Each structure stands twice: as structure tokens, then as C-alpha cells.
Structure 1
Amino acid sequence: MMRLPHSFSNIRGRETLARSQVLQRSWPFVLDLCIAAIGLACFYGVVRIAMFWAGRPEPGIVVSLSPRALPRYAFYSVVRIGLAYLLSLFFAISYGYIAAYNRRAEKVMIAILDILQSIPVLSFLPPVMLAMIALFPTRQLGVEMGAIVLIFTGSVWNMAFSFYSSLKSIPRELMEATSIYCFSRVQRLLQLELPYAAIGLIWNSIMSVAGAWFFLMVCEMFHLGSRDFRLPGLGSYLQTAADAGNGVAIAWGLAVMILIIVATDQLVWRPLIAWSDKFKFEQVESSSRVTSPILHLLTQSNALHSIRQHTIMPLTEGLYTRLADRRLAKLHRLTVVKPASGIRTLAVRVLALIIVAVAVLYAAFQAVVLLRPLPGAQYLHILQGALATFLRVNFSLLLASAWTIPVGVAIGSNPRLARIAQPLAQIAASVPAAALFPVLLLALVRIGGGMGIGSIALMLLGTQWYILFNVIAGAMAIPSDLKEVATLFRFNTVQRWKTVILPGIFPFLITGLVTASGGAWNASIIAEYFPIKGQILQTTGLGAIISEATGGGQFPVLLLATIVMALIVVTTNRLVWRPLYRLAETRYKLGA
């Protein structure tokens, strides 16, 4: 073989090195251009959506089943879900923070949260839509805000439960460290509480967005009495296609939805999961980490690095300094006792309590007036429906737990498996079950089943993912040093599950079960009352009663069914979920 001269090989080596240096310098510039293009596209999208929302409301919108309309419909739906998610994130952090640190309000707030997450979306429909339209009577914005708030009511509660549970399980030594270093509440939130809760919050965010896709058909195409509140979007497209029995249109709509879900996973969730992996509470770094090419590229962006270095960091440091000085000044003022200030604070609290009590009594009186015309047979019918739905909800929880716990632990413990299984789970959780329910129902009828079995199957399609995603988050949050100790002592499978896995995922599992229970009650509105091809398929249950009352504008029946559901949920919360939460906060809390 002929060898190249030594000088020539040196020249080739220098050329290769220079080419790689040029690529290293040019690639961040190309990435900056991509980020700028994304920013311009977002700005254009904001302008277009503002023009549409500022226009006059369009009564009786006709949803086109042409595939050409899908990009525009998908854009509208993505904007609604994105705004509903941002609203959910703000609410979850605020509500969970107050509930975790205010012992007086904690029991009431968690009970209210459990009630709200169990109330079906259709129960919120009349007050939400009428209120939004009253605020913006001459603009499309009113109906749009109504749809966004309805999506919010179907996806926010599991995020609030997750953040609350994470705050209650923060190790004591970390909280003591923030007190020693005089962290302000804002600094503690940004540097301890949000990072510690990041893993659970991100996975519950994935579930919330999947739940938003699940209820999108209800939120974009609904009726209140004789009024039609239909919006152009991917959900209304799928519902129209299902009503028409157009299998080709359903396939096109599901294909676009799956494409959006996969793109969201790769561009948003996967980078966030890889970023949050550094917040695991462990003393030994894991050898296997979650990776994301998008996150790796973003860390090489010169524009983002410059913004962080010259804008974000100086602002946060200045904010922390001012808050620390204000905290020290407040502690100095508290050394002087001011009885007048204490009396003033007590008077404000008493006044606020009186206002709340008057509002509650007035609402209770109006509810009694509204329920008075109902006959006794209606009460008995609602109680029978409540018992049937209660049994379906608990049976679906047992079936869901049987497979989601082992599968979730396997996915959360294996980053390679998570890269494959996570997008598939998101797609399965996000596809509206109502779009698949006609096929499922026909199959059950052929094998001898009916709406009784079909309603349980549909509840499973909508609620099992709450348990799965929380178990995945819990398995990912188990410290690597605990796993290494289990390996060092040669634990068998039973010992590993009993000593490491189940205690490690227990707080996340309880959150998943609570939110899955609420999701099952919520899904009953679709599972027990399903319109298809001009006829109504229904079975005995509260969901069917609520759906029928909403469609017929029977507000007394709707109110009574919602009250009965709330009473069942409160009782379950007091007897089951609160003791389990207390156990998670004490016995299964990480810490020295």
C-alpha cells in the first residue's frame, strides 16, 4: 500500500481540525437563527389568533371534514390547550403552595380540590360559558375563553395534587438549610421547592396535556339547551367525523393529533425530563441519565447563553438580595410587639370569615330553592346512579393499578425503555376515547357485552394514565444510592419491591390514585352516555344523569347530581385518601 508523505498527512490533519473548529463556531449561529425563526413564527401565531378572537362570534359554525382544514383546526386547538396548561400551572403552584404551608386551610383546600377534580367537565359548562359570554358578549373571545377554562377544569387538578404532595415530602434538612441561610419565600420556591417538585410536576403536566386532548371533543363541541357552542378545532373535527361515521376523516384527525403529540414530546417534554433529572434527591450520581438532543442543542445556543448571562442572572441576584434585605428588616420589626397591628389583623380575618359565611349561606339557600320542585323519585334515581358509578370507578382503579404499577416502574427505572415507551404512552393517553368508543362498543356488543362493560373500558382509557405517569415519575425519583444499596446487599425481587420500590413510589402512587379516581368520575359523563349516529347509548349512572341534564337544560337535576357526587368524593377523601397522604408524608418521606 502506498503511504502518503508525512508533511501531506499533517496538512490533512490541520485541515480537518480547522473544519471542525469552523463547524463548532457556525453551528451555534445556525441554532440562533432557528430560535429567532421560532420566535417570529410564535409572534405571527399570536397576531393571527388575536385577530380571530377579536372578531364577532360566529353562530352555528360549520366544521369542514376536508383534510385541508386540519392545519388551521390543529393550530386553534394547540393554542387553547397551551393557554389552558399555563393557567393550570399557575393555579397548581399557587394552590398547592398555600395548601401545603397553611395548616388551618389545608384540610378544607384539599377536600375542595378533591371535589373539583371529580366534578365532570359538563357540570362546569353552564356557569363557565354563561359567565364568559357575559364578559365578552360581542367578541369570539368569550366562547374561546369558555373553552379554555373548560379544558383547564379537566386537566389542572392532578398538577395541584402533585405539587402539594411534593412540598409535603421535602426532606427536613433541606428546609432547615433554607432557614439557616435566610432564604426568602420566593428564593426558597425557586431554588428548592420547584426543583424538588420538578419531576412529578413535569410528568403530571404531560398527563394534564394528554387529558386536555382527551376532553377536547367535549370542550370544542358542546350544547347548552338549544344553544350551540361549537368551535373550529381538532376536537370538533373528530366529533363531527364520529357523528357522521366518516372513518377516513377520523383517521386524518387522529394522524394529525398523533403528529402533534410526538412533536410536543420531542421538542418540549423530553428536554424538560432530561433537564429535571439533575434535581433528583440523591448522594450518588446515577450512571444512566435521561438525554435529549434538543436540550443539548439549546445549551450550545449563544443567544440563549447571552440572555441568561446578562439578563436572567443579574435580575435574579438583585431580586434575591432585595428580598433578603426585606426579610431581615421584617424580622427586626417583629422584635417590637405591636398589639394594635395584631388586633387589626384579627379584625380583617373575622370580616373575611363573615363575608365567606354569608356567601356560602346565600348559595345554599339558592340551591335549596332550585332543588325544591324535584320529586322524591328523582332523588332515588340519582342515588341509584351514584352507587352504580361508584362501583365502576373503584373497579376501574383496581384494573388500572394491576398493570400500570409494574409497567410504570419498568419505564421509570430504564431510560432506554422510557425513550420508546413515553411517546407511545402519551399518544395512547391523548387520543380521545370518544373517537375510538364506537369501534370498542361495537366489538363489545358482538362478544355479548354492552354499555355496562363499555363504560368501565372507557373509564380505563381515560384514567389509567394518571397512575402510570405518576408511577413513572416516582420510579425516576428514587435515589440511585438506594438502588445501589439494594444491589450491594443482593436483594431479590420481592425484597427490592418491598424495601425500595414501593416505599419510593408511594407518595407518587397516592397522587396518581387520587387523580385517577377523580378522572374516572369525570370520564363518567362520556362513558355512561354516548350519542352515536342519531341515537343515545346509555347505562345507569351519575355520568349519564349529568350528561342528559346538561343537554336538556335541567339545571335542578344537574345541581343535585353534582352535589351527590361531591358528597361521595368528600367521604372517600376523609376515609381513604387523607390517611394515605398522611402516611406518605411521615413514614415514606426521604430524609436523613
Structure 2
Amino acid sequence: MKRYAPQLVADKHLTGFSWRDAMVLITLFGLFWSALHFGRGMLVAFDGAGLPELDMSTSQIPYYAGRTLMRMWIAFAFSLFFAVSLGYLAAKNKLARSMILPALDVLQSVPVLGFLSATVAGFMALFPGSLLGVECAAIFAIFTGQVWNMAFGFYHSMITIPTDMQEAASTYGLTRWQRFRSLELPASAHSLIWNSMMSFGGGWFFVAQSEAISVMNKDLKLPGLGSYMAGAIERGDNHAALLAVIAMLSLILVSDQLVWRPLIAWADKFKMELTDSGQAPTSWVYKLLRGAYLFDWLQQRVWQPLGDMLGALQARTKQRPKALRRNRPNWLLRALGLLLATWAIYEVVMACLAALAALHGALTLGQFAHIAWLGFLTFLRVLAMTILATLIWTPIGVWIGFHPKAARIAQPLAQIGASFPVNMTFPLIVGLFVATGTPINWGSIFLIAMGTQWYILFNVIAGAMAIPNELKEVASIYGLRKWKLWRTLILPAIFPFWVTGACTAAGGAWNASIVAEIATWGTTTLKADGLGAFIAEATKSGDTPMIIASIGVMSLYVVLLNKLVWRRLYAFAERRFRLD
């Protein structure tokens, strides 16, 4: 098994400052300046009556791209913290798991527009007279498009850590923090990084809906690439739409080279295997960072002293009476958990009462039956997308995971596909559907798949890359080929990852149906019969009872599907397909 080494520095200690360190410092300074420059625009005055007209000139695209990228990374930071915290708590505590997993099931089923309709007014009231309220609402909407996949992926990685490694950590007497840092986080690295890439792409997918907010008969367009795309779509401006697409693709490729590819190369050291793979993932940025003296200096002068200080504090804690050490933290944690649970239950009850009050007298049985029927039609599209995406992308994902050289090309292409907003395909799709006479009721399946099939692909790639090299060698020695290899090694190894990908793909498909079941370009609009189109229209018109009823029906479908299908598959994967 490879040695877990959380630091990013090279194995040998460098002796002095070099040009690599200068490049790192210049880059950090540039990032800090960019954050100040683009963040300043979030704090301008805003009276709530409306935003100034969006400037559609091409010279504004770089600034809009920077504003959007900043929102994306802020949302991702919150998503990462949320996913790791809740995933860890759900994996470690049965009572917390019984509340967290159903809550995640419900929350991932609530569409982005559903969050916007409920949060825009709240954030604007929280920051009166400032654009920061609308900015927070947009960031929160992007957060809801990113976080659920990461949370499910991290949770499942935690519960499938091999038993012998858990026992070894207990034998060595590791504290919770030492166990988390040395075992649990490294063991989850591959899944967390690949799911983070997919979640970041999911944020791009909904960026237009997050920045061009149409709720309660109000149109709020924040300066950003998503709102620029929305404006181009409304005007049918092909030139502006093309420039926005080029800017977005550039940001995706830069993020891949500077962030995701180095992280994948770094995470290769955390594979649970006894022999090294012949083709390890590489990254020029990762090589540059490994050769920088700055990180070695920080390790020796900052992180190591802090670690020694924490170790001394832990040693003092161990010298206290055992009863005091054991009972006080447990009592405090339980009290805090009870307080948070009470607050959450109170908020849920109050929200349900407010929803019932809004629905009273405004929703008939016939209207509810119609909404449920539309939900069933969307369910059929989600089911078709999940099956087709599994059949198409599972073998492709395994092939990419087994060939790191191919992954260098396929990874950015998959990120582009996952990040590409479906509404930017409307100039081609609407014309194609009209020319060929394709009904949007069938064509919307393709549009839904464009935004959600990638969850399955990314998770299958992560599962294939996480297969220990010695298992591949044993399979080769025994001459396993084709179906025998798939049945004996590949399918059992990737099944837990596929469950995570398929679950989040199905949940994301319900969300994507809002964008995919209504295709508009210029004056041409194609509308499918489904719950997504119904929610989009209700949200735009500000029909609160219909918004509540339709989101409630969508949540019910997703919760039942997760309870009857995905939770059972999670349990089956945990029971049968652990690397013990």
C-alpha cells in the first residue's frame, strides 16, 4: 500500500528560493488582486427596484467571466466544506445519518429555481441596500447545483474504507483528527476530486439560471457570463452567444490545467495498492509546485510547528482525568447536536405550515393530479436517461480509467461536456428539432442527458482509476478477458462509484428538466409536457401555490426513488463490494 503523504512538497528538501517560487508568489498575488477587483463589484449599492441594463458589448466579457468564476469558486468552497462535514457526520453517527441522508434526498430534488424563489427575498433582506444580497442568492443557487454529488460521494467513500485499515488506525491509537487526516480523507481523495470536478461542471450548467434570475415577475441580471448568455439567448444574438461560449470554454480549460489535473496527479499517491501503476497521471503544474522551495519552507516553519503545538495540547488533554476527558466533549457535542436538530425541526415545521397556508384554497385535487401526471412524464425521461447513460458511458469510463494517457485528453473534454449550459445549444437544437419534426417530448431526454450523464461517467472513471494495480496484475495472470474480467473485477470494483453517479445523475436530471423541457431561441419556443416546464413557468410568473405544489411533487418522486432504489443499492455496495 502506498504511503499517505498529505504534503505537496517534493521528497527531497530544496535549499533555496528559485524561479518556481517567484512564479508561485506572483500567481498568488494575482489571485489575491483579482479577488479584490471582482469582489468590489459585489458590494455596490442596490435599491431593490432593479439592476441597471446589462452591457452586452463584447469588451465586458472578460470582466463578466471573472465575476462568474469568482462566484463559482466561492460556491465550491462552501460546497466542499458542507460535503466533507455532513458526509463525515453521516458516516460516523447512525442518528445523524438517519436525518442527513433523507434531508440530502429532499434537497437534491429541489430545483435551482425553487431555491431562488425562496432565497432571493431573504438574502436581499439580509443585506439591504447592497448588491451583496442578490450575489449571495446567486452563489447559493450555484452551491445547490454543486454540493449534493460531492456529499454523497464523500459519504460513500467513508463507509467503504477497508476494515483492516480501520482496525490498523484503532490499533495505533489514532485520534479522530489523525484518523481523518491519515486514513479517511486520503482514502476518499479520488472520489472527492472527481466528484468535485463534476460538481463544478454542474455549477457551470446552471450558471445562466443563477445569474439571470426571473422570480416573482422580477428580472434580476447580475454582471456575469451566465447573464450575458441569457441576454444573448433572449435577443437571438449568435455572435454574442458564440463569444460567451468561447470565454466559458477557456475558463474550463484553464481550471482543468491549473486545478483539477494537478489534484488528480497528487491524489495518485493515495491509491490503495501494493504496486505502483505503470502509467501514473501527470501534470506540469504539479511538477512545478513539487519543485518549489516555498512549500518546503512552509512545512518546516509553519505547519510542523503548528502540528507540534497541537500534539502538545493533545498530550495535556490525555493527562486529565479520564472521566473529564470522556464526558465533557461528548456532552458538549450532544448538546450542540440536539440544539441544531431542534432548530432544523422548527424551521421545517414552520416552512411546512407556511406552505400549507399558501396552498389552502389555491390548489384543487384536479390541479394536484395534473401536476403528479406531469411528474410521472418527467420520471420516465429521467429513467430513460439513467439507463442510456449507464449503457453508453460505463464502458467508456472504464477504458479512460484504465488508460491514464487517454484520460489526459478525455478529462478536459468530459469537463467541457459536463459544464456546457444546455441553453447554449438551443440555437442548434431548436432549429434541428423544428427541421426534423422531432417532438420536444422526446428531444428533451437528450437535453436532460447533456447535463447529467456526466455524473455517471466521472464516477465510473474514478472507480476504474481506484482499482489497485495488483488486482489488475492478478487478473492478467489468471487470463481473465472480456466478460470474465468485467464480471470478476471491473463491475464489483466500480459498482459503488456507479451507484453514487447514477443516484446524483437521476437527482440532477430532475433539476435539469426545468431547463431541458422548455427550449427557447429568439421568438421560437418548444415546450414539453413535464414537471420541469411547469416549474419554470410557475417560477417566472410568481405563482407561489403552484411553485410549492410542483416542487413538493418533484421532491416526493425523488425521495421515493432514493428510498426504494438508491438507498438499497448503497447498502448492497457497502455489504458486498468493499476492498477488504
TM-score when normalising by structure 1: 0.91
The counterpart of 2:277, out of the listed 273, 281, 286, is 286
CA RMSD of aligned residues (A): 2.4
AA at the equivalent of 2:550: A
1:528-543 matches, within 5 Å, as 528-534=517-523, 536-543=525-532
Report which of the two structures shows the higher radius of gyration computed on alpha carbons: 1
2:543 aligned with 1:554, yes or no?
yes
Following the alignment from structure 1 to structure 2, what is the Cα–Cα distance between the partners of residues 203 and 377?
44
Following the alignment from structure 2 to structure 1, what is the Cα–Cα distance between the partners of residues 324 and 62?
59
Distance 1:226 1:535, change over 3 A: farther
Following the alignment from structure 1 to structure 2, what is the Cα–Cα distance between the partners of residues 62 and 255?
23
Following the alignment from structure 1 to structure 2, what is the Cα–Cα distance between the partners of residues 462 and 355?
35
Following the alignment from structure 2 to structure 1, what is the Cα–Cα distance between the partners of residues 418 and 302?
39
Distance 1:63 1:314, change over 3 A: same
Give, in angstroms, the shift of residue 64 of structure 1.
2.8
Show CA shifts across 1:261-311 (max 9, x none): 111111111110000001001122222211111111111111222112211
Give, in angstroms, the shift of residue 532 of structure 1.
3.1
Following the alignment from structure 1 to structure 2, what is the Cα–Cα distance between the partners of residues 230 and 277?
42
AA at the equivalent of 2:235: A
Give, in angstroms, the shift of residue 556 of structure 1.
0.9
Distance 1:352 1:201, change over 3 A: closer
The counterpart of 2:366, out of the listed 377, 381, 388, is 377
Contact 1:57 1:138 in 2 (8 A): yes
Give, in angstroms, the shift of residue 47 of structure 1.
2.1
Give, in angstroms, the shift of residue 193 of structure 1.
1.1
Who is 1:66 aligned against? 57
Following the alignment from structure 2 to structure 1, what is the Cα–Cα distance between the partners of residues 15 and 175?
42
Show CA shifts across 1:345-384 (max 9, x none): 9898877766655544443332222111212221121011
The counterpart of 1:307, out of the listed 295, 298, 307, is 298
Who is 2:404 aligned against? 415
AA at the equivalent of 2:469: S
Contact 2:430 2:526 in 1 (8 A): no
Bigger shift: residues 93-102 or 357-366: 357-366
Distance 1:322 1:182, change over 3 A: farther
Contact 1:118 1:517 in 2 (8 A): no
Bigger shift: residues 26-35 or 243-252: 26-35
Who is 2:4 aligned against? none
AA at the equivalent of 2:261: R
Contact 2:205 2:421 in 1 (8 A): yes
Contact 1:451 1:538 in 2 (8 A): yes
2:485 aligned with 1:488, yes or no?
no
Distance 1:106 1:342, change over 3 A: closer
Distance 1:352 1:111, change over 3 A: closer
Give, in angstroms, the shift of residue 513 of structure 1.
0.4
Who is 2:419 aligned against? 430
Contact 2:234 2:522 in 1 (8 A): yes
Who is 1:363 aligned against? 351
Who is 1:402 aligned against? 391
Bigger shift: residues 377-386 or 274-283: 377-386
Who is 1:13 aligned against? none
The counterpart of 1:524, out of the listed 513, 525, 529, is 513
The counterpart of 1:498, out of the listed 487, 496, 509, is 487
AA at the equivalent of 2:476: T
Following the alignment from structure 2 to structure 1, what is the Cα–Cα distance between the partners of residues 211 and 346?
36
Give, in angstroms, the shift of residue 134 of structure 1.
0.6
Distance 1:440 1:355, change over 3 A: closer
Bigger shift: residues 518-527 or 107-116: 107-116
Give, in angstroms, the shift of residue 149 of structure 1.
0.5
Who is 1:316 aligned against? 307
Distance 1:382 1:330, change over 3 A: farther
Contact 1:129 1:143 in 2 (8 A): yes
Contact 1:28 1:300 in 2 (8 A): no
2:449 aligned with 1:464, yes or no?
no
Taking only the aligned residue pairs, the percentage that are identical comes to 42
Who is 2:10 aligned against? none
Give, in angstroms, the shift of residue 499 of structure 1.
0.8
Bigger shift: residues 173-182 or 498-507: 173-182
Distance 1:363 1:219, change over 3 A: closer
Distance 1:76 1:586, change over 3 A: same
Give, in angstroms, the shift of residue 333 of structure 1.
3.7
Show CA shifts across 1:375-419 (max 9, x none): 222112101111101101000111111111001001111011001
Following the alignment from structure 1 to structure 2, what is the Cα–Cα distance between the partners of residues 70 and 294?
27
Distance 1:344 1:38, change over 3 A: closer
Bigger shift: residues 80-89 or 44-53: 44-53
AA at the equivalent of 2:576: R
Contact 1:61 1:232 in 2 (8 A): no
Give, in angstroms, the shift of residue 572 of structure 1.
1.1
- Structure 2 SS opposite 1:57: coil
AA at the equivalent of 2:240: A
Following the alignment from structure 1 to structure 2, what is the Cα–Cα distance between the partners of residues 77 and 536?
27
Following the alignment from structure 1 to structure 2, what is the Cα–Cα distance between the partners of residues 352 and 296?
44
Contact 1:526 1:543 in 2 (8 A): yes
AA at the equivalent of 1:81: M
Who is 1:12 aligned against? none
Who is 2:7 aligned against? none
- Structure 2 SS opposite 1:222: strand
Who is 2:94 aligned against? 103
Show CA shifts across 1:183-205 (max 9, x none): 22122111111111010100011
Distance 1:531 1:174, change over 3 A: same
Distance 1:346 1:147, change over 3 A: closer
Bigger shift: residues 320-329 or 564-573: 320-329
Following the alignment from structure 1 to structure 2, what is the Cα–Cα distance between the partners of residues 104 and 26?
51
> Which structure 2 segments of 5+ residues have no match?
1-13
AA at the equivalent of 2:27: I
1:21-60 matches, within 5 Å, as 29-57=18-46, 59-60=50-51
AA at the equivalent of 1:270: R
AA at the equivalent of 2:45: R
- Structure 1 SS opposite 2:275: coil
Contact 1:394 1:517 in 2 (8 A): yes
Show CA shifts across 1:537-579 (max 9, x none): 3121111111111111111111111111111111111111111
Following the alignment from structure 2 to structure 1, what is the Cα–Cα distance between the partners of residues 300 and 332?
45
2:575 aligned with 1:578, yes or no?
no
Who is 1:272 aligned against? 263
Who is 1:564 aligned against? 553
Who is 2:107 aligned against? 116
Contact 1:184 1:324 in 2 (8 A): no
Contact 1:187 1:320 in 2 (8 A): no
AA at the equivalent of 1:585: E
Bigger shift: residues 477-486 or 228-237: 228-237
Distance 1:349 1:508, change over 3 A: closer
Show CA shifts across 1:474-526 (max 9, x none): 00000001000000001021111011111111111000001000110000111
Contact 2:430 2:520 in 1 (8 A): no
Following the alignment from structure 2 to structure 1, what is the Cα–Cα distance between the partners of residues 395 and 238?
35
Give, in angstroms, the shift of residue 32 of structure 1.
1.5
Give, in angstroms, the shift of residue 162 of structure 1.
0.5
Contact 2:68 2:224 in 1 (8 A): yes
2:133 aligned with 1:142, yes or no?
yes
Contact 1:444 1:454 in 2 (8 A): yes
- Structure 1 SS opposite 2:301: helix
Who is 1:131 aligned against? 122
Following the alignment from structure 2 to structure 1, what is the Cα–Cα distance between the partners of residues 238 and 427?
11
Following the alignment from structure 1 to structure 2, what is the Cα–Cα distance between the partners of residues 535 and 331?
72
1:139-218 matches, within 5 Å, as 139-218=130-209
AA at the equivalent of 1:229: L
